[in-house]
């Protein structure tokens, strides 16, 4: 047996232990001696499957493949034509194209996927999350062909995947539920009637939905009608099911979920909770385990209700029961996800379990290896979802492009990165804009957050707009640090939208000093060629520079003098000592400013002195000029800003799915012009002012 116990306990002790005792000891020893993010107990003699197909793409496909390799299982990847060179395709033992880019013709194409299963003779299918992971028809077709679905049976998928049926079952299982309408909402008029009966605000949500898609909050009749329209359209597009339900919206709650694990022998465990309250548009952004809010009694009550619900539907596999928790620690069942969650790594960190391995074992028919008493909370884990998004627009509107440079911060201790991309990968309009899941682990929350801060500073992503600035600001915000959070955290903390990091006076001086030192270091380097002066007879002995640095609305005089590898920089009458190795070819630059270490990234520069520097997570644009150049620059004409008040441009790339007007129409300010679908979400584009529509088309 390839078991960690053998190395820590010795062969004599190992032989005296039962398999379960050994594995339990292994888990506990593993947690004490290692902060790795997968269980060390892979038994090559425990037979599962010879070949497994992953019916998914991106990071979750790569995640499943990693565990399969450790378990000795061969893997088959499926892909669309635009994903032919994707990382998950390269990692798998085999890969087959299942259609063109649109998900309906590829990753949701059951006929094509079933053909691949037959061709490759895959014995099992892991669906990941999203796509077909909670599709009972897919599970049924696999069962009919004798192929194992790595997940629960069709009964549990149908019961828990349907929000209406799951709510009724939860009530019967004595699980706390949210007040609402338990039937299917037929049309907008009925939606308004139901919403009035429940009382505003209400949540309109797709019955078969998840991931924030097909969900809208309505505060009045008009928003209910609009929410019904958009939610039904998104639900049909994402899940092929446009049924909706309505329930009371609990204002200012926490979103806390319980990870459950159950086998086919009636055993079920709860693997503690995950705090998932930091959200935008009902989609999670930052998660952690455990939660700062729960006490042992509440945690146990939530866990026991989650297990009761799992047992009520004879659930087997890994699953998640989601709850809304109010300020008094009253908790209400939200939904059950009958699949692996995006945020499962934080649970793996604090328990030492590999949930993908456990899912595969359960699917093969093995009983669970652990008892409830064996499940620890060891340390703290935080996950940030790194997206190709512009966080300055509605906390994250999708961005597309090619990753021209990409470097994960794996050199930072206790960091895990689950990704499905690499340098050169494309982020397209067809799929979710997630770049990766960045996870850090610590013996306590403060340590995990400090490592996350360092990891975000050391994450190199070029070619697409990303949300690292928002993630970094969230994890260092005083409210987040003290655990004072809810699902309304982002709009409450940033009521006027996210603006980036607001520099203190000291941080502003640090940035100015760093930028000026970087400028001088580059000037000195440009005077040398292969380590020697370009013109040996004209050696420069210059040791001081007077500069003018433009940052935001301010222009700052900065004096720099060189002292060995360090620079003494005077800003605002204060002197700062700036030290670095000044490796200008590296995407990351470690700088020490008066004893404080900072990791910065210079993203761009040009001959006019303009440069962009990522500092404390936020990108700042500066212009650095010599004193003479700065005096002359005032004579340079400024380019007039383009007047776009009469043009409606989509703030994100996407597909136009509906146009509500035609040329010649009179439109009013706030009137819908068209609907853009981007990364599976529908967005209404409205007129910025009243006027006559002249042209409808693309530039």
Q: So which residues are the catalytic ones?
A: 335
Structure tokens at 537: 């007879």
The answer to whether the beta carbons of residues 260 and 318 sit under 8 Å apart is yes
Gyration radius of the chain over CA positions:
28
Secondary structure in 3-state letters for 596-633 = EEEEEEEEEECCCCEEEEEECCEEEEEEEEEHHHHHHH
Residue 582's Cβ-side half-sphere holds a number of Cα atoms within 13 Å equal to 19
Q: How far apart are CA 442 and CA 451, in angstroms?
A: 8
The Cα–Cα gap between 305 and 681 comes to 33
Which residue in this structure is represented by tokens 């994402």? 238
Per-residue burial over 220-231, b if 16 or more Cβ lie within 10 Å, else e, is ebebbbbbbbbb
Task: Show the CA angle centred on residue 389, arms to residues 387 and 390, nearest 5°.
Answer: 140
Distance CA 359, CA 59 (A): 18
Length of the chain (residues): 699
| Angstrom distance (rounded) from CA 351 to CA 19 | 19
- At 415 the three-state DSSP class reads strand
How crowded is the C-beta side of 50, counted as CA atoms within 13 Å? 4
Contact 626, 553 (CB under 8 A): no
SS (H, E, C) 81-125: HHHCCCHHHHHCCEEEEEECCCHHHCCCCHHHHHHHHHHHCCCEE
393 close to 302: Cβ distance less than 8 angstroms: no
Instruction: State how far the Cα of 195 lies from the Cα of 226, in Å rounded to an integer.
Output: 13
Joined together, the tokens standing for residue 301 give 């009550």
H-run or E-run covering 360: helix 355-364
Return the beta strands (E) in 345-433 as ranges. Answer: 380-387, 389-390, 397-398, 401-402, 405-407, 415-419, 426-427
Q: What are the beta bridge partners of residue 23?
A: none
∠ Cα 687 203 181 (to 5°): 135
Query: Cα–chain-centroid distance for residue 59?
Result: 11
Q: Which residue matches tokens 């952004």?
A: 285
Instruction: Please state at what angle helix 136-144 crosses helix 154-161, rounded to 10 degrees.
Output: 180
Give the orientation angle of helix 344-351 with respect to helix 355-364, to 10 degrees. Answer: 90
Burial 271-288 (b: 16+ CB within 10 A, else e): bbbbbbbbbbbbbbbbbb
The strand pairing partners of 610, in sequence order, are 623
> Pairing between strand 124-126 and 51-54?
parallel
Which has the closest alpha carbon to 308: 252, 348, 268, 263?
268
């Amino acid at each position: 047996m390839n078991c960690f116990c053998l190395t820590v306990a010795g062969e004599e002790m190992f032989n005296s232990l039962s398999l379960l005792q050994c594995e339990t000891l292994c888990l506990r020893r593993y947690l004490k001696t290692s902060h790795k993010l997968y269980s060390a107990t892979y038994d090559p003699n425990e037979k599962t499957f010879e070949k497994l197909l992953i019916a998914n793409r991106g990071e979750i496909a790569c995640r499943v493949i990693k565990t399969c390799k450790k378990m000795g299982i061969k893997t088959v990847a499926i892909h669309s034509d635009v994903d032919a060179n994707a990382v998950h395709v390269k990692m798998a033992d085999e890969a087959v194209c299942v259609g063109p880019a649109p998900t309906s013709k590829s990753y949701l194409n059951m006929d094509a996927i079933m053909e691949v299963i037959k061709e490759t003779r895959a014995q099992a299918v892991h669906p990941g999350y999203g796509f077909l992971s909670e599709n009972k028809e897919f599970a049924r077709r696999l069962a009919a062909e004798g192929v194992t679905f790595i997940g629960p049976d069709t009964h549990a998928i149908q019961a828990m995947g349907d929000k209406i049926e799951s709510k009724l079952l939860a009530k019967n299982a004595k699980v706390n539920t949210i007040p609402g309408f338990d039937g299917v909402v037929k049309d907008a008029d009925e939606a308004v009637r139901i919403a009035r009966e429940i009382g505003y605000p209400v949540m309109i949500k797709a019955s078969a939905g998840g991931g924030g898609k097909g969900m809208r909050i309505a505060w009045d009749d008009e928003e209910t009608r609009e929410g019904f329209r958009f939610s039904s359209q998104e639900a049909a597009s994402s899940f092929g099911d446009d049924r909706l339900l309505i329930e009371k919206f609990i204002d200012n709650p926490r979103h806390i979920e319980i990870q459950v694990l159950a086998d086919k022998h009636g055993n079920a465990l709860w693997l503690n909770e995950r705090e998932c309250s930091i959200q935008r548009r009902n989609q999670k952004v930052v998660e952690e385990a455990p939660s700062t809010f729960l006490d042992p009694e509440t945690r146990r009550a939530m866990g026991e209700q989650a297990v009761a619900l799992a047992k009520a539907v004879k659930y087997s596999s890994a699953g998640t029961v989601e709850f809304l928790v109010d300020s008094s620690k009253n908790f209400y069942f939200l939904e059950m996800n009958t699949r692996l969650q995006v945020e499962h790594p934080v649970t793996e960190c604090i328990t030492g379990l590999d949930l993908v391995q456990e899912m595969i074992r359960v699917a093969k028919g093995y009983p669970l290896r652990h008892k409830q008493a064996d499940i620890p909370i060891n340390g703290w884990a935080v996950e940030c979802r790194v997206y190709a998004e512009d966080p300055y627009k509605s906390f994250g509107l999708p961005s597309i492009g090619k990753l021209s440079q990409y470097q994960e911060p794996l050199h930072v201790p206790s960091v895990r990165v689950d990704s499905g991309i690499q340098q050169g990968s494309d982020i397209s309009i067809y799929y979710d804009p997630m770049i990766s899941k960045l996870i850090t682990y610590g013996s306590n929350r403060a340590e995990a957050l400090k490592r996350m801060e360092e990891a975000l500073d050391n994450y190199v992503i070029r070619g697409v707009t990303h949300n690292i600035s928002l993630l970094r600001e969230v994890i260092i915000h005083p409210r987040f640090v003290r655990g004072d959070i809810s699902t309304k955290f982002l709009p409450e903390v940033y009521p006027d939208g996210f603006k980036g990091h607001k520099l203190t006076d000291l941080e502003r001086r640090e940035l100015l000093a760093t930028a000026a030192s970087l400028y001088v270091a580059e000037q000195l380097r440009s005077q040398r060629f292969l380590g020697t002066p370009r013109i040996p007879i004209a050696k420069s002995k210059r040791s001081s520079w007077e500069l003018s640095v433009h940052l935001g609305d301010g222009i700052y005089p900065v004096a720099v003098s060189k002292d060995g590898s360090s620079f003494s920089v005077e800003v605002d009458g204060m002197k700062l000592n700036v030290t670095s190795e000044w490796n200008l070819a590296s995407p990351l630059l470690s700088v020490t400013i008066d004893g404080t270490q900072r990791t910065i990234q210079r993203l761009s520069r040009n001959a006019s002195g303009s440069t962009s520097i990522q500092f404390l997570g936020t990108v700042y644009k500066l212009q650095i000029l010599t004193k003479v150049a700065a005096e002359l620059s005032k004579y340079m004409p400024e380019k007039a800003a383009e007047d776009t008040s009469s043009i409606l441009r989509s703030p994100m790339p996407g597909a136009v799915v509906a146009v509500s007007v035609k040329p010649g129409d009179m439109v009013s300010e706030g009137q819908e012009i068209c609907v853009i679908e981007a990364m599976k979400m529908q967005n209404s584009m409205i007129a910025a002012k009243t006027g006559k529509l002249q042209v409808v088309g693309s530039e």
